[in-house]
């Protein structure tokens, strides 16, 4: 087996004295969509925060075969590890075009032409952003904001794109659109680590899955198997779980 893109081993994260994630190990392979599902408060966002370097953690995180310890958030971004956070964290008082341009900040040494190419690519993938390029990010609808957050992340040419609840607060139609974009990204060679409460959609699009509950991994395996697991089906895909 080749080295996976991202290898997290017995990672623990604490807020003060309270440990929110206990010894979690996950792997994200090249060219795959890996999903982490679980209820609210299971520690999913905390896990991503630690991988991104936003939160201090114990355990090892290896990315492209090298340990990430000591690398700042910005250095991780520069190495192609990019997070689209749950709150999107856009630059609300700046234009869509400015937001996207800043997504390429870590790659500014690649030159103007490379940025231009990425920008055309993002606009090609999200025609709605192209229409709104001079509009302020704060005036966009929820779905457009998510697209802008995705677009800004793609401007950094991620090798591993981490998405935190990309469907949160969006209308079902837009959720479908976002998930089809995610599948399209995998086809374009971007590996994805997807955190979702919408377990049904997440397991449908992903190759591998992990179930996180109260900070601990309870199940893992190929997504199709997870979806067929009676426990997962009852807890996460049960009746009325059609949101």
Residues that bind another protein (CB under 8 A): 52, 54, 70, 72-74, 77-78, 82-83, 85, 88-94, 98, 101-103, 105-108, 152-153, 156
Least distance to another protein from the beta carbon of 106, Å? 3
Smaller CB separation from another protein, 4 or 151: 151
Smaller CB separation from another protein, 29 or 80: 80
Smaller CB separation from another protein, 102 or 205: 102
Smaller CB separation from another protein, 21 or 90: 90
The pair phi, psi for residue 38, each rounded to 5°, is: 160, 165
Least distance to another protein from the beta carbon of 95, Å? 10
Least distance to another protein from the beta carbon of 238, Å? 34
Least distance to another protein from the beta carbon of 165, Å? 15
Positive or negative, the Cα torsion across 42, 43, 48, 49? positive
Q: Is 123 helix (H, G, I), strand (E, B) or coil?
A: helix
DSSP string, 87-120: T----TTSBHHHHHHHHTGGGGGG-HHHHHHHHH
Which residues, at least 6 apart from 160, have a Cβ–Cβ distance to it below 8 Å? 5, 6, 28, 63, 80, 81, 82, 190, 191, 192, 193
């Amino acid at each position: 087996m080749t080295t996976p893109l991202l290898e997290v081993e017995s990672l623990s994260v604490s807020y003060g004295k309270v440990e929110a994630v206990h010894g979690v190990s996950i792997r994200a392979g090249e060219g795959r969509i890996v999903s982490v599902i679980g209820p609210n408060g299971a520690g999913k966002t905390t896990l991503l925060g630690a991988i991104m370097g936003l939160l201090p953690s114990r355990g090892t995180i290896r990315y492209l075969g090298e340990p990430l310890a000591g690398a700042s958030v910005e250095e991780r971004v520069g190495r192609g590890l990019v997070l689209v956070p749950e709150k999107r964290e856009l630059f609300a008082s700046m234009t869509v075009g400015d937001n996207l341009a800043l997504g390429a900040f870590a790659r500014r040494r690649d030159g103007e032409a490379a940025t231009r190419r990425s920008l055309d690519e993002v606009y090609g993938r999200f025609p709605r952003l192209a229409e709104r390029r001079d509009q302020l990010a704060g005036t966009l609808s929820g779905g457009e904001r998510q697209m802008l957050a995705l677009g800004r992340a793609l401007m950094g040419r991620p090798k591993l794109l981490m998405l935190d609840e990309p469907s949160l607060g969006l209308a079902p139609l837009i959720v479908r659109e976002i998930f089809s974009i995610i599948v399209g990204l995998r086809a374009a060679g971007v590996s994805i680590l997807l955190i979702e409460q919408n377990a049904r959609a997440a397991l449908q699009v992903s190759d591998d899955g992990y179930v996180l509950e109260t900070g601990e991994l309870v199940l893992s395996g190929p997504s199709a198997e997870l979806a067929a697991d009676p426990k997962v089906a009852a807890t996460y895909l049960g009746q009325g779980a059609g949101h």
